[in-house]
Structures are given as C-alpha cells and as structure tokens.
Structure 1
Amino acid sequence: MAQEPRIDVALTLLGRETEPTEAERAELAASLKPEVWFATPKRIDVGEPRPADFTWDLVGDPYKGEIPTGQAAVYLANPKLGLRRPFLFADGFNYGPSELPDLFAYFNTPYQPGTPGFFDQLLARGIDVVLIGFEKRHTHIQANAGVAISAITRVIAERVGDAPLTVGGVSMGGIVTRYALAKLEHEGVDHQTATYLSYDSPHNGAWIPLVLQQMAYFFEDFTPAAPGQPKQAELIRSEAAQQLLWAWVENSKYSGPVATSSPLRKEFLADLARVGNFPQRPLRLGVSNGRRDGIGLPLPPGEVAFDWQALIASATARFQPERGEAQKIGGMHLGLAVRRSTTTEVPALDGAPGGTLDSFGKVADALKAKISDEYRSGTFVPSVSAAALDFDPVRWNVETTLSITDADLAAGHLDEVAFDADNTEHSHVSGALIEWILERVSR
C-alpha cells in the first residue's frame, strides 16, 4: 500500500529550544513586513469601477454558531427593463471582506486593446451581472454557501420574467456556488439555474507550499501582530484555507499526514458527497488558468527558491520535490529555535500546470529576502483540479503533469472545460477564456 503523503519536522539541531530575547524579537520584527501572508492585496491597476445599479445585503443560515453575511452588487443591462437575465458570480479566496467594486473592475479590465471588458460584454448582450461578496472570505465554505443561496433566492424573487440563471464564481467562489447549488438540489429547492461556471476553482484542492505555510506560523510565533490587527498566518490557518488546500499543516512543528491533517477538509468533502458532490441539473462549465498539455512551470523540484540569512534568523525554501521519502523542503531558525522539514510522497506541485500564485515571492518579500523573478510564482490551482477530473481529492491518485485528453474530461465532473494557452496567474482575465465563456453563456 502506498504511503500517505506526510511532513516530518526536526524541531532543533541543538538539543534545546529557548525563547528568543527581546532584542532578537525586535531585530526579527524589523526584518518582517507586517501583513497577512498569502493574501491578495487590493488591486490598484484595474481602472475606475462602474457603480452598481443597486446592492443587497445578504444573510445566510447560521453555521456552527456563525451567521454569515455578505452583499450582492447588481449591474443591469437595461435599468428600464429590470433584472431579466441574471449572471451571478461569487468572489474568491482571500482574507477579510469582499470588495465588489474592485472585483467588477478587475474582471472588466479589457484583455486586449479595443475590446470591452468581460462584464461590459455581458451587459451589451442583455445579461445582468450580479456579483456576490462575503463579509469573511476566509470562513467556512458551507457558511458562505448560505450567503450565495441568499443571493440566488433574492435574484429569483426580483427577476422579471423566467429566464434561467447562470451561477458560479472565481477560485473559492466557484466552490461556494458548487456547494450551494448542490445543497439546494439535495433539499428539493428549485434553484432555476441552467448553467454553472467555475473560474480556476480548486475542485480537488489547491496548493500552497508546505515550507511556506510553516514559515508563516514560525515567524508569527515570535512577532505578534499589533493590537487589533490580524496575524500573518491568519489566512493560512483560516477555515477556508483548511478546506481548500490539498495539503495543510497546523503549525511550524507539525509532523504527520498532510492531506488529512485538517478535520475541516474531511468534513467539507463529506458534506459535498452528502449533497451529491456537484449540482446535477445545470450545464457545468469550468475554465483553468493552466495548460492542458502537461507542460508546467520551469521550477526544478528540490531546488532552493530563496535562502534568507539574517544575524539571528534564517529561512530556506525549496521547491517541492517529486514524491520520494524524506525529501528536503527547507527550514528556518531564530536563535536556538530550529525547524528542518522533509516530506514523503508529496508530488512536485510547484511546477505543475495550473493557475499560479506568487507564493514564494510573497514570503520572500515579507522577509525582505532576495529571490529571482522566475522563482517568485508557483502553481496554486493545478489544471487537473480546476478541470475537476475524476480522482480522489485526498489521495491525489493522478499525475499532476498529465496531458489532459478529451477522454479525461469526459470522465470528469464538468461538461465542458477550457484551458489557458499558458500557465497564467490564478484568476487572470484571459481573452481566450473570456471569449469561450461569452460564447456559452450568451446562447
């Protein structure tokens, strides 16, 4: 029987670990940027957002003692005619509340000169755009699915006529709406949705390098956040991260299995299975920011991505090696506190085909470490995951550099899938993907 993917951490090479002195803490704090690691910053290059015609406050059903909330921003194709052909699109994984004007502006940025943006093209075709945002993007997917259900219910109530809905989202938003639609079907509720759309959504899991997750925890332990501010590992320890990431660790000292380390992921996968895994009634569409031909990123497995050395601290990150046993992925130290990590049977996901995230760059920048431009980004949503191929989301019994055939897609969970021409940034607004979507939702 194949060994379960795992991480092993040597806590110290010196036989003892003591708390760093105040001077060491202060020196480390001066070396770090105070921010939530892996969060996507507010975009400043998206132009002027169009004001929504109106907004709705959304409230989902209580989940684990939490009442999830959010907002919908409605953009009408023709305000005189009202809401007639709704296209609902949910925000993705990040820390804190959604910024719906920024989401509109980002996806509406023209992908080539002289061509209107995605949402402008939908509106010109008479399709109304309804963006769904969440007060806590980082909370449980099931909780935010309640917010999405609130939006779907409100759209049906406000719609003029009986045109069916298109419902989906980007990144985690595609998973939230997948669960919401499947849950409604399971409960016998008519969601009146003809088309489901996921935009680079991690159907079988996303990837953030384990050594970088460890660094977030490790350096946070010694540099507490300012009062009232989130800690740097808040996103990586969040409920959404635990549910979305295929491999996750709970702290910098954790040794053990990585694909089953969070009970929240196991619980979410069981909830998905209980409601039917995917909605069955709509046409299921998906797009991937990665390639389908098996060609990934030129990131050599096991090679050092960055090596940061300060007077009292250090951090070394390697690209994930290809499976094997006790493979080195890097380490870190502060004073006498040391971590040296290895993995076993973890695939080399950093270089897999897929939508990318500048995860190595984000951590190097937070440490003020030097890193080559070509090493800043690794894969975040592998193509095999965005395409919802049929494989075990825990064992990941799939070749991550698979050249995806039509037969693979036919055996998967989506009816139609489009891939980018190259491995581009996660959620990148690609002309090829947008035009593919427009052709299908405009029918």
Structure 2
Amino acid sequence: MPRSVAWSAEEAGGGAGVLTSLARGRAPAARDRRPAPRRPAMHRAAPATLLPAAALAASLALAPPRSAAAPDAAAPARLARFGGAPSAPVARLAEWRQLYFELRGDPGRAAWPTLDELSGRARAARAAGAVPLALVDAVADGGRTVAAAALVPHTHRGGAVAFRLDPALVASDAPAALARLEFDADDGLGFRPLALGAPLEARYAAPGPRAPALRLTRADGSVAVARFAFDVRALAAPVPDDTLVVTGATPHLGGVASARAYVRLAPGHSAIVNPVVVPEGFDLDNSLGWDELWALLNQQGLADTLGALGYDAVVLDFDDATDHIERNAHALVALLAELSSTLPPGATAALVGPSMGGLVARYALAWMEAHGQPHRVRAFVSFDAPHRGANIPLGIQYWVQFFADQSADAAFLLSRLQTPAARQMLVYHLTEPPSSSPGADPLRADFLANLDAVGGWPARPRLTACANGSGAAAGQGFPAAAQIIRYEFDNFVVRILGNVWAVPDGGTAKIFDGRIRILFISDTQRAVTVTGTLPYDHAPGGWRATMTQMDTTEAPYGDIVALHPAHAFIPTVSALDVAGVGLFHDVLADPDLLARTPFAAVYAPAENEEHVTVTPANKLWFLGEITRPLVDAPTAPAAPALALSPVAPNPSRGAVALRFRLPAAGRARLAVFDAAGRAVAAPLDAALGAGAHAVAWDGRGAGGRRVPPGVYLARLEAGGAAVARRFVVLD
C-alpha cells in the first residue's frame, strides 16, 4: 500500500534528525462529493536555498424557447406557480433570477434594471451590513407574478442578521400600489412591518435552511406572499480587526484596481507583526466578502490554527476579481508595500495564493523585484493555481453561449467567460464563429508575455506549491471525447438538443450539438467540431462539478443529464508548473520532479480533489511551509535574531531538547502545539538573560499524559518576535 512521505535535505543534515514518515497507510480522506476511491498523498521537498471561487458553473435554469410568432405556451403555468398565494413554492435565487429575466424581456419593462445592475445594487446594500432583498410584483400572461429573493442567499452571522429591501430592488408594474410590506424572517417571530430601505434584524437559534417571506398589501386591499430560500450557515463569524483599502499605483492598460484587505490579528497582537497574506481567487460575481473568504481560509481549522500559532491573517478582497490579473496584482503590490513599511524590524510575511490568487501573487512579487521594491515576503505558497492554464470544457462554453438567450444564468456565465481574467487563464476559449482548432484567447498570450517581462517568477521568497489534482496520473473517470452532458427533448411542437462531449486527445471530434426547433416557426442549430486538442477535460487536476450542477437544473422541457460528475479545472501539471511533460505525467513517480518546476517543495495527493480544498493531509503541509523558520528568509536582520534550533531528536519517542538563543534579556515563552493549533504544553515561561538556553520537554501534556503520535510545533516567543519548529512524535 502506498504511503505519504515527506523529506527535506536540510533536515537530514546537522544531526537534527530526519522526518522520514508523516503518516503510514491511508491518508485522511479529503472532502469529495464523488464516490471515487482515494489514495494517500505524497510530497517532496528540495534543499533550502497557504480560497471559491473560480469555476464557471452555476444553476442554469432554462426558459422554454421563445419566438415572436410563437408565444411561450408554458409561461403562464410557470409564472403562476409564483402567484402570491400562501401555498406558493419557496423560490431559490436561480429561479427568481430566471423569472426576472423572463419578465424583463417584455418590451414594456425595458426600464427595469438589468440583472447585472441589480447585482451591483445588492453589493452596495451588503456593504452597508445587510442582506439585500429583492421583490418582483408584475402582471404577466393574464396573471400576477410575485416573487422575492435574498440576493445574498446565506449568512454566517445568523445570531444577529439584518435584512433590507431597498426601493431600487423592487420591480413592479405599479410600485405606488404597494401600500404595506411585512417580513417574516422564519425566526419564530412571524410577520412584522418592513420599511423600504430600513434594516430589519433577525436572530436565529440554530444554523440551517430557512424560508423567509415578504407579505405585500396593495392599495386595492389585495394581499400576496412571496417565500424564498435562505441558508443560515453559521450563527457567528470572526470580525476583522481592521480593514485596509488599497489601490494600485501603476495603471495597466490605463486602469487601476482597488481592494479591501481584511485583517484578523493573532490573539495578543495589537498590530500586524507576523502576517499571512491571502489574495482571493476568481470571484465569479464579486459576491465573496469577509465571511465567505474566512470560511474558505478556515477549512479544516487552518486559519484558527495559524492564529493560535501567532500568525495574523490578511485577506485581500478585490473590488473586481474578474479584471485583468495585472491590475489586481498592483493592488496586492500596494498592500505588500504598506506592510513592508509598517512591519517590525526583521519581520517577514508568508504569501498564500489560492487559484487565480496564485497568479496575482506571482506577478506582484516578480514585478516588485523587477522594479527594486522591497516586499519582505519570505515564503510564497501557491495553492492549486493555474500557472499553465485553467480549463472549463469547451463544449460547455458553447452550451452556455447557445442557450444564453433562454437562460439568465447562461447569459451571466457567458459574460463571465468574456471577462479579462477568464480570458487570461483558460487554455481553450470559445470563439465566434467556433474554431475547429481551438486555443486560448489572445489575452492569455499577452499576460504570459507580461509575466516574462518581469522575470516570470520572484527570486527572493521560497517558492512552494500545493495541487488538488492527482499526482499519480489519475484521470476524472471518463476518456477523451466522451459525452459528458445529454440534453434531449422532442415532441410535436418543440425539439431541443444540448449535448456536450469532452475534447479529444488529438484527432477530430464533435464537442457540442445544439438545436432549438419550434414547429413551422424557427429552427436554430449549432454543432462544434474540433481537431488536435489536448485532453484537458479528463486530465488529473483539481476538479469542478460543473456537469453535476447542470444536472440539478430544472429544465422546462426534458432533463439535463450529467453523464460524468466533474471535470479537471486546474490540471496537476499546471498547479505545479511542471515543464516538458504531458497532462498525465506521474509526478509522484518522477525522481526529477523538482528540476522541472520553479518550486523548492511541492505537494500533490494521489487522487483528485475538489479545487482549493484544504484536507487534513495538505493542512499539515501548509503549516509546515508557512511556519518554516525565519532562517530561510532571503534577508536577515542586522541585530542578533531570536533563534530556535531544530528539535532533537526528530522524530522522537520520548523527551526532546529545545535549544534557543535570545538576542536580549527578557521574558521568553516556549509552547508546544498540536496539528489543530491547540496548546498541549508550555515547557517555559520565564525571564531569561540574553544568549543560549536549553529546555527539555518530556513529551507529556498538561495532565501528565504522553501526547499522541503526530506532528507538533514548538513555538518560542520573546521580545515581540516568534519562531517555530516542526517535529514528529512517534509511538
């Protein structure tokens, strides 16, 4: 049976012991929605010299095909489902968007805001600290349609959450006819008055799905109720200790980007002294805020563990994460420059780049070095970032384009495919007309040229990378050119096709076949065939469940069927930037792997995992890289530094020696933490003189019992600085 192994040449020397085995047997299973067998991870490190974001997949609710000469016969029944009766169904956000999309298609409602404009107004409302609500009250097809939605359909602060319905988010044929509004938050308190533009607070007792409702009374005395889905994900979430607003100082193509840096200080810190900087990835609709980004960062308790170890989280949230990567990189440059000027002497930062954030960080660091600007980043950890490109199946891209006139979300996703960042990352991008020899959008070549112009990679930090894709060449469970989506409906009046295939491995194959035929009225068809592609769709890689999400869509005609659940989004060889190999290269079996990458250490699981998933196994790897001793930093302070020697023996079956040096007299504290960030022992807390010292720890916790086998961190604090060492306790 394979095992998970970690090694580093610097730990093998100097008599400090060799970390030969992190875990034997099967590694902990990562979160995976697919019933796939899992094998343990393997990672390697060379001698010395840390997130949801990122896929174009959502609920794709199709409207029945429209024609000016053939009105939608299904529309009255569909719209009547949301007629305002107390028994009307609970509307999901995707359903509400689709209803709004169809109603706004009436020429008489052309003045209604677009869905993009509504999203912008929702972001403004959310920035004011409330969950933005939206309401539709319109006459359609001889009946009344009343539907409501929370435009941010969840909260992490259910213990005290405010809802708000702004006048700009009310779409009505006769807004003056709304005489009274009431709101039931489904919190047990029933309906209470709701004033437009004013917050209404709810307090939930437990997390879980809810069905709040708006009740409107019109001037004619008629009453309607609209219920909608809302998810209370948590009752409380950490509050940032500070929020820094940064703007790039260097324009790219005439524009600059801005961002907010949310700061969460480690316990006991009053300012940023030991930062871990995390720029966000590709935020499809720029809806991710602090709560969502923190939840992604805190998978497996990673952020909490880092805080317990004395690290300050600095999470960068771009105003527009779909903008040019270079523009957002300059916003990160502004943040790093600010940190560089305010950190204590000798302090450095770790920079974790998840998904597109890895490209942003890579460009920012390389640009700063090319222009002689200090960044004080000692470690750059790339997390499933598309250094050699990202993949959304090209057939699905053409599916989205074909049905964009029928689906609100298809139209939205098509607009997202056309954003600068998507065009810079995707290895295959749709064209109009379709090309039989597909390739990347020209913006990708421009971005790669700009990277090369600043050196390609930064030279000062230690570079490491974690992939979610299989390092053992495991594919996604289907072959090249396999059909991945089947959508077919046929009756006397309507025929609909929307079939999708994976790209072929060379050769020629059809990847999309679409048709919308309305008897005697119209017949729209498109088929896309490609030649000479690489098999990106089923390659080893961090996956996205795009096909599964399409499968769960309720289509008005027929059924969208996912023949396979997920596709490769970030190929393993892309996340690890492995040069000169194919997509199915067995990186874990490659003895020369590190010579093929710019990284000093890499991590890849044996089985494919969902993109930017933190697992119990890679969490330990992240902790090891982020907490790596300061001696690996490219610059050293002029004054004597706080130093903690490697723990000896390592691994250990009994007592260990903790040797350290204080640059000045003062209070010193040594603590031992487990992999979850819990303090298990405090061998030292005393005032000491400057110079060398040693403390023995017997391997026992506060209760006198031996700690269980596992990975531990010894952390020394003194004089406002801290250093840590990793070691292993065996049975």
**TM-score, reference length from structure 2:** 0.52
The alpha-carbon distance between structure 1 residues 380 and 45, as it changes in their structure 2 partners (threshold 3 A), is farther
Letter in 2 for 1:138: T
Structure having the higher helix fraction is 1
Letter in 1 for 2:376: Q
Equivalent residue, structure 1, for 2:67: 21
What secondary structure, in the 3-state scheme, does the structure 1 residue paired with 2:291 have?
helix
Higher RCO (Cα < 8 Å, 6 or more apart):
1
1:24 CA drift (Å)? 6.1
The answer on whether the counterparts of 2:471 and 2:540 sit within 8 Å (CA) in structure 1 is: yes
1:439 CA drift (Å)? 1.0
What secondary structure, in the 3-state scheme, does the structure 1 residue paired with 2:475 have?
coil
1:45 CA drift (Å)? 8.4
What secondary structure, in the 3-state scheme, does the structure 2 residue paired with 1:22 have?
coil
The alpha-carbon distance between structure 1 residues 46 and 389, as it changes in their structure 2 partners (threshold 3 A), is farther
Letter in 2 for 1:142: E
Give the alignment partner of residue 279 of structure 1, picking from 458, 461, 464.
458
1:84 CA drift (Å)? 0.8
Equivalent residue, structure 2, for 1:9: none
The answer on whether the counterparts of 1:46 and 1:105 sit within 8 Å (CA) in structure 2 is: no
What secondary structure, in the 3-state scheme, does the structure 2 residue paired with 1:235 have?
helix
1:160 CA drift (Å)? 3.0
The answer on whether the counterparts of 2:240 and 2:263 sit within 8 Å (CA) in structure 1 is: yes
Q: Does 1:345 align with 2:525?
A: no
CA distance in 2, matches of 1:28, 1:167: 53
The alpha-carbon distance between structure 1 residues 319 and 230, as it changes in their structure 2 partners (threshold 3 A), is closer
After TM superposition, the structure 1 stretch with the greater mean CA deviation from structure 2, 268-277 or 310-319, is 310-319
Equivalent residue, structure 2, for 1:95: 284
Equivalent residue, structure 1, for 2:561: 371
The answer on whether the counterparts of 1:200 and 1:381 sit within 8 Å (CA) in structure 2 is: yes
CA distance in 2, matches of 1:210, 1:225: 20
The alpha-carbon distance between structure 1 residues 331 and 72, as it changes in their structure 2 partners (threshold 3 A), is same
The alpha-carbon distance between structure 1 residues 25 and 439, as it changes in their structure 2 partners (threshold 3 A), is farther
CA distance in 2, matches of 1:378, 1:25: 37
CA distance in 2, matches of 1:232, 1:410: 39
CA distance in 1, matches of 2:455, 2:232: 40
What secondary structure, in the 3-state scheme, does the structure 1 residue paired with 2:299 have?
coil
Letter in 2 for 1:322: D
The alpha-carbon distance between structure 1 residues 70 and 23, as it changes in their structure 2 partners (threshold 3 A), is farther
Equivalent residue, structure 2, for 1:354: 541
Equivalent residue, structure 2, for 1:239: 420
After TM superposition, the structure 1 stretch with the greater mean CA deviation from structure 2, 336-345 or 271-280, is 336-345
CA distance in 2, matches of 1:41, 1:351: 32
Give the alignment partner of residue 121 of structure 1, picking from 298, 305, 308.
305
- Give the % identical residues: 27
Give the alignment partner of residue 329 of structure 1, picking from 511, 521, 526.
511
1:376 CA drift (Å)? 2.0
The answer on whether the counterparts of 1:237 and 1:250 sit within 8 Å (CA) in structure 2 is: no
Alignment of 1:244-323 (within 5 A): 244-251=425-432, 253-260=433-440, 262-310=441-489, 311-323=494-506
The answer on whether the counterparts of 1:91 and 1:103 sit within 8 Å (CA) in structure 2 is: yes
Alignment of 1:3-22 (within 5 A): 21-22=67-68
Q: Does 1:400 align with 2:446?
A: no
Equivalent residue, structure 2, for 1:15: none
CA distance in 1, matches of 2:594, 2:277: 25
The total of aligned residue pairs comes to 403
The answer on whether the counterparts of 1:390 and 1:413 sit within 8 Å (CA) in structure 2 is: no
CA distance in 1, matches of 2:316, 2:293: 10
What secondary structure, in the 3-state scheme, does the structure 1 residue paired with 2:415 have?
coil
Letter in 2 for 1:266: A
The alpha-carbon distance between structure 1 residues 296 and 166, as it changes in their structure 2 partners (threshold 3 A), is same
1:198 CA drift (Å)? 0.9
The answer on whether the counterparts of 1:331 and 1:341 sit within 8 Å (CA) in structure 2 is: yes
1:79 CA drift (Å)? 4.6
After TM superposition, the structure 1 stretch with the greater mean CA deviation from structure 2, 186-195 or 47-56, is 47-56
What secondary structure, in the 3-state scheme, does the structure 1 residue paired with 2:448 have?
helix
The alpha-carbon distance between structure 1 residues 203 and 27, as it changes in their structure 2 partners (threshold 3 A), is farther
The alpha-carbon distance between structure 1 residues 125 and 352, as it changes in their structure 2 partners (threshold 3 A), is same
Q: Does 1:216 align with 2:403?
A: no
The alpha-carbon distance between structure 1 residues 201 and 279, as it changes in their structure 2 partners (threshold 3 A), is same
What CA deviation, in whole Å up to 9, does each residue of 1:92-113 have, x standing for no partner?
A: 1122324222111122133xxx
1:25 CA drift (Å)? 8.1
CA distance in 1, matches of 2:369, 2:294: 29
Equivalent residue, structure 2, for 1:180: 364
Equivalent residue, structure 2, for 1:12: none
Letter in 1 for 2:350: T
Letter in 2 for 1:417: V
Q: Does 1:104 align with 2:294?
A: yes
CA distance in 2, matches of 1:203, 1:42: 32
After TM superposition, the structure 1 stretch with the greater mean CA deviation from structure 2, 55-64 or 126-135, is 55-64
Equivalent residue, structure 1, for 2:725: none
Q: Does 1:425 align with 2:605?
A: no
Equivalent residue, structure 2, for 1:5: none
The answer for unaligned runs of 5 or more in structure 2 is: 1-64, 80-93, 99-114, 116-151, 156-230, 518-522, 629-731
Equivalent residue, structure 2, for 1:16: none
1:401 CA drift (Å)? 1.0
The answer on whether the counterparts of 2:542 and 2:612 sit within 8 Å (CA) in structure 1 is: yes
Q: Does 1:159 align with 2:339?
A: no
Q: Does 1:191 align with 2:379?
A: no
Letter in 2 for 1:238: T
Q: Decide which structure has the larger Cα Rg and report it.
A: 2
